[in-house]
Structure 1
Amino acid sequence: MISPEIVKSLPKAPSRLQTATKRRIGKAVLTDTPEENAVAEEHVKKKERKDEAIRNKGKKNNNNERK
């Protein structure tokens, strides 16, 4: 006798998630002053956004309280 378990196919594996790729800086001399300043400014902005996200992490969202 043939049981449904024998006939039933194996489950398909889910597709793999793609990891985000980092954007690379184009070809440039990074030691030139304008390029160096731009990289430093970008670094400061990134750090500020990260710090702000950490500060706001524990706070409640005021929009949800009004509803």
Structure 2
Amino acid sequence: MSNDIEWRKSSRSNTSTSGECVELSTNVTEVTHVRDSKDSRGPRLTLRPAGLAALVGQIKSGALDL
């Protein structure tokens, strides 16, 4: 995977506390990479637009709450 990926973290993420948030790639076409901001070298999800939309929908609905 390229080191040239640019990442975006939500402006609403609060880095002064636990820093638990995800980052999304901003300069890759056809897919979106998703990673944990605490482990930038860790595993990444690579999602096509429909997959990202489905994931966001599941998160918003609470279906993935632990």
For normalisation by structure 2, the TM-score amounts to 0.29
Going by fraction, where is strand more abundant, 1 or 2?
Answer: 2
